[in-house]
Structure 1
Amino acid sequence: MWIGWIEFDLLLGDVHSLKEKRSIVRPLVAELARRFAVSAAEVGAQDLHRRSTIGVSLVSGDGWHIRDVLESIDRFVGERPELQVLASRRRLLDSDD
């Protein structure tokens, strides 16, 4: 069994309130879950209106599949015009680790 995750530190564009932040973050999290069949959530910086940390994880029997999905997710988030990726961190673990 393989477990993979990616975490994004995001700077949101022209956002002036937590309500505006939610209007960007919630659809992004929902689209990640729908498009890539993964678990996704805002996992940090919930009280800051211009920053967000999004975590995405998945489990598979094939490590290569996880690498491909994480790469696709990284590209998808990086192409979003309403946000800037400040950092992304990935991790891949085998159940034998």
Structure 2
Amino acid sequence: MYTGTAVFDVLLPSDSRSLKVKRSYVRPVVAALRRFEVAAAEVGALDRYGRAELGVAVVAADPGHVNSVLDSCEQLVAGRPELELLAVRRRLHGEDD
């Protein structure tokens, strides 16, 4: 069994000056990520209006499948025109960890 995680550090549009507006940008992205059958949530920068950290976790029997799913998630976040992807932190955990 292999698990993979990714944390996406994203910059939100300048009009996200309240947590309500921030949620209006983050919630659709998290919902779109969940279509890849991953666990997804906002995991960091919770009190910062212009930034968000989105976390994704996936479990699979094959490390190639884990990487493929994380690649798809990264492409989805990077392709959102309203967000700017600043950084991605990925980890793969295998049976030896």
TM range (shorter): over 0.9
CA apart distance, 1:17: 1.3
Q: Which runs of 5 or more residues in structure 1 are unaligned?
A: none
- Partner of 2:24, secondary structure, is helix
**Which residue matches 2:19?**
18
**Which residue matches 2:42?**
42
- The percentage of counterpart residues that share the same residue type is 52
The alignment of Structure 1 onto Structure 2 pairs a total of residues equal to 96
Amino acid at match of 1:26: R
Amino acid at match of 1:80: R
Q: Which runs of 5 or more residues in structure 2 are unaligned?
A: none
Q: Quick one: distance in 2 between partners of 1:44 and 1:89?
A: 13
Root mean square deviation, CA, Å: 0.8
- Partner of 1:82, secondary structure, is coil
**Which residue matches 2:2?**
2
Which 4+ residue blocks in structure 1 deviate beyond 6 angstroms? Answer: none
Amino acid at match of 1:88: V
CA deviations over 1:55-86 (Å, ceiling 9, x no partner):
00010001000011111111110010111011
CA apart distance, 1:25: 0.6
CA deviations over 1:20-40 (Å, ceiling 9, x no partner):
00001111111111x200000
> If the length of structure 2 is used for normalisation, what is the TM-score?
0.95
- Partner of 2:11, secondary structure, is strand
Amino acid at match of 1:6: A
Q: Quick one: distance in 2 between partners of 1:71 and 1:44?
A: 21
Select between 9-18 and 56-65 the one with higher mean Cα deviation.
Answer: 9-18
Amino acid at match of 1:27: P
